Amino acid sequence: MPRKSQPEEEIVIDEPTTPVKKETVATRWFRNYAVNNKSEMITICELTARSVQDQFNLVVTSGNYELYAVVYHTTFMAILDFLKNKQSSYSTFSISVANSSQIGYVNNTDENNEKVGNFMPVIKHVGINANVPPEPTIEKDETTALASKYIKWLTINSKQTVDYYKDIQEKAFNQLDKEFGIRLRTSEAVIPMFCIFMDHVVNLIKLKYQEALGTGVSEVSMNVLGLYDIFYSFDEEANVEYIEYTPNVTIKLKLKSDIVSDTDDA
């Protein structure tokens, strides 16, 4: 009998080597999902890889940095699953994801919309997370020591102890391994990597705005992996920046539900 094919692995180790890129499940996924603003998504993946290396001494030996887009998207889906489970208890609910963002939903009060499960997603920018000072490189089998680095990152960048992180990161961690062969060694890596990627989304949109200065452009936008469009503008007179997210159909369908709640906000 023919052998059952095994999923390709993305191996993350501690010492940098010369990248040898190859076709993987993650790179094929990226080609299908990064349809819009592909070059920008590649840049964000590269910036994320650099940040992860600087803060956690981790290097993607294959050079296929697209895996960080997969981590981000998979974690976003896990967050939406967590939120959807709250719809039976709360008509409005949101969570803070470190210092990066607030993600949640509000339910339309129109009766007809409620009947079709019109829980509208909401994404709000909070800020940019602080970097964790680099520490000596750890041995690749010291998973506990690596997890402590991610926990330290969360401690620095979370205002309070967040119990819901565990459910989200475990779901994403297992999904990444099962579907993509991406093994992060510890589920504590999920939230920091998600936030670092999201921080670079904001960093890049700001750069795009700076590059557009003097061209008459008042606002720039970018689509992020089919999840949402991010918009950036700056009011010079008020010295205020505006960062807005418009969820795409993927997020809207994920939160669509027949459950209607009559309870108060969370």
What is the per-residue pLDDT across 28-86, written as a single tens digit (0 to 9) for each?
Answer: 999 999 999 999 999 999 999 999 999 998 888 888 999 999 999 999 999 999 999 99
User: Range of 39's domain?
Assistant: 12-127+140-255
- Residue 266 or 134, more confident: 134
How many domains does the chain fold into? 1
Alpha-carbon gap, residue 32 to 220, rounded angstroms? 24
- Residue 53 or 107, more confident: 53
* Confidence at residue 51, expressed as pLDDT on a 0 to 100 scale: 96
Residues above pLDDT 90, as percent of the chain: 65
**52 is a domain residue:** yes
**194 is a domain residue:** yes
* Confidence at residue 12, expressed as pLDDT on a 0 to 100 scale: 53
**82 is a domain residue:** yes
Does 253 have pLDDT greater than 70?
A: yes
* Confidence at residue 261, expressed as pLDDT on a 0 to 100 scale: 41
Contact (Cβ atoms closer than 8 angstroms) between residue 243 and residue 202: yes
**Overall average pLDDT of the 79-98 stretch:** 93
* Confidence at residue 136, expressed as pLDDT on a 0 to 100 scale: 64
Helices (H), the chain: 25-33, 38-56, 67-84, 111-115, 143-157, 164-180, 190-212, 249-255
**Overall average pLDDT of the 146-166 stretch:** 87
Q: Reduce the DSSP state of residue 190 to 3 states and report it.
A: helix
Residue 139 binned pLDDT confidence (cut-offs 50, 70, 90): low
**262 is a domain residue:** no
**6 is a domain residue:** no
* Confidence at residue 143, expressed as pLDDT on a 0 to 100 scale: 76
Contact (Cβ atoms closer than 8 angstroms) between residue 95 and residue 119: no
**264 is a domain residue:** no
**263 is a domain residue:** no
* Confidence at residue 76, expressed as pLDDT on a 0 to 100 scale: 98
The pair phi, psi for residue 202, each rounded to 5°, is: -65, -45
**266 is a domain residue:** no
